[in-house]
Chains A and B, each alone.
Chain A
Amino acid sequence: MFGRSGRGGKPSLAFIIVRCKRGFRMGESKMGKWKARLWRDRYLFLLLFPGLLYYIVYKYIPMLGSVIAFQKYSPFLGFFDSPWVGLANFERIFEDAEVVRVLWNTLLLSFLQIVFAFPVPILLALMLNELRNKLYKRLIQSLVYLPHFLSWVVVIGIVTIFLRSEGMVNHVLSSLGIQPIPFLNDPDYFMPLVVLEVIWKESGWGTVIFLAALAGVNPHLYEAAIVDGANRWRQIWHITLPALRSTIVILFILRLGTVLDSGFEQIFLMLNPFNMEVGNVLDTYVYFKGIQQGDYSFAAAVGLFKGVVGLVLVVIANRLAKRFGEEGLY
């Protein structure tokens, strides 16, 4: 729509002249160049300030605040006066049987999500892409995108209503002569339910990025393939899927960076005393330990461990992607 981008566009002569005049008026020659630039940008800094303050206060100070992982933090003593304990909290992570089990739950869940939930949007996008009737395609899209905009409380609420012992599913099962199944309390159902919920809620929305990539495919490629005698499956295999490859790789790298994230809201809402053993993950564990029990330092150590592992995984995955000739994340 616009011919030139804001940065790429060359400034016109008049623009340069005005800028220069203003520069002289500010006394650019007297002040250092650095100072002059800061003065030139003063209104931009004014615009930047609230956002910068947000990042410093709610992102970067908490990052520094992670030092409490190396302390025995006490709310009364604060960040500065709490005693230092070195790596003691981190040693506890691997000595504590509960943490090891929680770590295992987290990894198992992520593995299941990557195997079962990650490919679904790709498949769904391929299916939507094959639809010839535009109106039908848009109707299906509006329906499958919808759950993304529901809150996790609503989604888990729906699941609860359908699957609880006196819920609709068990009503139907019992009318078929099948014993009621305690879906919500039986630990065996926990992980499959969590994965299915994610598939139900996010798969439709997940197609958007793949469909955007497919919208950029040159239709001549398909025509040429047809002339060469490629049937539909070969067109998908040789044109459609390669068009999605770099998007899949980037999303996969991002996904690897979050293997220790389980989606706090969803898991927390699904947990109950019966499934705690298999369902407690790092995110919820940090909440129970830190916020509920007040063991701030240990919970912060678990959180920091999680964050650092995530960072390292993204960097490694990005290197690997680049080695295999993909564009990568950065």
Chain B
Amino acid sequence: MHHRTLPDRVVDILNAAVLAVIAFTMLFPFIYIFAVSFSSLSAFSQSDLILWPEKWVTDAYEYILESEAFIRSLYVTAFVTVAGTFVNLTVTSMMAYALSRPITGGRMFQFMVLFTFLFTPGMIPTYLIVKATGLIDSVWSLILPAAVNSFNLIVMRQFFLNIPNELNEAAVIDGANDLQIFFRIILPLSKPALAAFGLFYAVSHWNNYFAGLLYLNDPAKWPIQVVLRQIVVVGEPTATLGGQHLLENPPPPETVQMAAILLATLPILIIYPFLQKHFAKGVMLGSIKG
């Protein structure tokens, strides 16, 4: 592009090298955890640093995937992720569309949404309301109190504002009402945007730990993140997963912990390429002041 001097090139190479090191620190934990999760007890205890499994041992994975507690938490989280994302998309898109139209009292409703950025009710009053609405120890406590994300709502409204008004006018002339316009015209047009918002909502459900800790006392309803904390952070893999006594050669707790981390992260890693396709666009959309 332009004339480059020698020191300039040195800076370029240095910059690229430093960035490579930074990027590697993001990757390294996964390489190590992956390698250990497939290693045997002897390989793990003899070596300081395993970067590739010596011979592939899948004991840890077999043990985890046979654990009722783990599978149950996967079911809970899968349900919360699917049902929660559906609720999120339905409620957010409907509200965002209504606010993108010249609705009576629109400014007041927008202020209601924006004010929650400046002031959020504390943990305790929210907890008491969740309790009052009968959601303690129900998986719906992970869904309903997080039905709308204000940031997503504002970005989605901005998206609807960018749809040309002529579509709406034409539909009104054809005798369509606002419900029909929204469900028959606007939503089908917005599929790619809904997919993007859906991915973000789904990730937040999958990764949520706080709501499970706060609202679910019954271990049978724990989502994956709460179970994962017991296994890895609290350090009780066998007590959490159970069934260890049934095995002749139980896998070492370290490999079980690492396998659990990878299994719980796998869905995120799988959808990550799709996320990437969407997120730059989403954030840029949001940075435009509405």
- Residues in chain A within 8 A of chain B (CB atoms): 1-7, 9, 11-12, 14-15, 18-19, 34, 37-38, 40-41, 43-48, 50-52, 54-55, 57-63, 65-66, 68, 124, 127-128, 130-133, 136, 139-140, 142-147, 149-154, 156-158, 160-162, 164, 168, 171-172, 175, 200, 204, 208-209, 211-213, 215, 223, 226, 232, 247, 257, 264-265, 268-269, 283, 286-287, 290-291, 296, 299-300, 302-304, 306-308, 310-311, 314-315, 330
A to B CB contacts below 8 Å, 20 in the list? A6-B161, A7-B100, A7-B165, A47-B94, A47-B179, A52-B109, A52-B112, A62-B121, A62-B128, A66-B121, A66-B122, A140-B22, A143-B24, A149-B272, A149-B275, A160-B232, A160-B233, A291-B123, A299-B122, A311-B119
Query: Across chains A and B, which 4 residue pairs bring their CB atoms closest together, nearest first?
Result: A303-B122, A51-B95, A62-B121, A151-B207
CB atoms of B15 and A131 under 8 A apart: yes
B218 at interface (Cβ–Cβ under 8 A)?
A: no
Nearest-neighbor residue (CB-CB) of B174 within chain A: A18
CB atoms of A146 and B26 under 8 A apart: yes
Residue from the set A57, A161, A213, A314 with the largest chain B CB neighbour count within 10 Å: A161
Closest Cβ of chain A: how far from B197's Cβ, in Å? 14
B91 at interface (Cβ–Cβ under 8 A)?
A: yes
- Of B27-35, B63-71, B78-86, B243-251, the stretch lying at the interface with chain A is B27-35
Closest Cβ of chain B: how far from A270's Cβ, in Å? 9
Select which of A2, A140, A291 is within 8 A of B163 by beta carbon: A2
Interface size on B, residues (CB 8 A): 103
Closest Cβ of chain A: how far from B162's Cβ, in Å? 6
CB atoms of B268 and A143 under 8 A apart: no
Cα separation A291 to B232 with both chains bound (whole Å): 24
CB atoms of B121 and A146 under 8 A apart: no
Interface residues of B in 102-123 (CB under 8 A from A): 102-104, 109, 112-114, 116, 118-123
Closest Cβ of chain A: how far from B118's Cβ, in Å? 5
Known: A149-B203, A158-B33. A269 touches B229 (CB 8 A): yes
CB atoms of A6 and B257 under 8 A apart: no
CB atoms of B178 and A47 under 8 A apart: yes
Known: A14-B169, A143-B26, A161-B232. A55 touches B148 (CB 8 A): yes
Which residues in A have their C-beta under 8 angstroms from that of B287? 209, 212-213, 247
- Residues in chain B within 8 A of chain A (CB atoms): 1-2, 8, 11-12, 15-16, 18-20, 22-27, 29, 32-33, 48-49, 90-92, 94-95, 97-104, 109, 112-114, 116, 118-130, 133, 144-145, 147-148, 153, 160-166, 168-169, 172-173, 177-179, 182, 203, 206-210, 213-214, 225-226, 228-229, 232-233, 235, 254, 257-258, 261, 264-265, 268, 272, 275-276, 279-280, 283-284, 287
Known: A132-B12, A143-B23, A171-B49. A265 touches B209 (CB 8 A): yes
CB atoms of A6 and B160 under 8 A apart: yes
Which residues in B have their C-beta under 8 angstroms from that of A287? 123, 214
CB atoms of B228 and A153 under 8 A apart: yes
Residue from the set B24, B232, B254 with the largest chain A CB neighbour count within 10 Å: B232
Known: A47-B94, A128-B19. A307 touches B122 (CB 8 A): yes
Nearest-neighbor residue (CB-CB) of B207 within chain A: A151
Closest Cβ of chain A: how far from B131's Cβ, in Å? 8
Cα separation A300 to B113 with both chains bound (whole Å): 22
How many A-B residue pairs have C-beta atoms within 8 angstroms? Tell me: 292
Known: A45-B103, A144-B26. A226 touches B118 (CB 8 A): no
CB atoms of B100 and A51 under 8 A apart: no
Which residues in A have their C-beta under 8 angstroms from that of B127? 290-291
Cα separation A50 to B199 with both chains bound (whole Å): 21
Which residues in A have their C-beta under 8 angstroms from that of B172? 15, 18-19
CB atoms of B20 and A151 under 8 A apart: no
Given A151-B225, A291-B124, output 19 extra A-B contacts at Cβ < 8 Å: A1-B162, A6-B101, A44-B103, A47-B179, A50-B95, A55-B112, A58-B126, A62-B122, A127-B18, A143-B23, A152-B207, A153-B225, A172-B49, A208-B283, A215-B284, A264-B210, A269-B209, A286-B122, A287-B123
Nearest-neighbor residue (CB-CB) of A204 within chain B: B26
CB atoms of B129 and A12 under 8 A apart: no
Which residues in B have their C-beta under 8 angstroms from that of A146? 26, 272
Nearest-neighbor residue (CB-CB) of B11 within chain A: A232
Known: A3-B164, A51-B153. A162 touches B29 (CB 8 A): yes
Nearest-neighbor residue (CB-CB) of A264 within chain B: B210
Closest Cβ of chain B: how far from A255's Cβ, in Å? 13
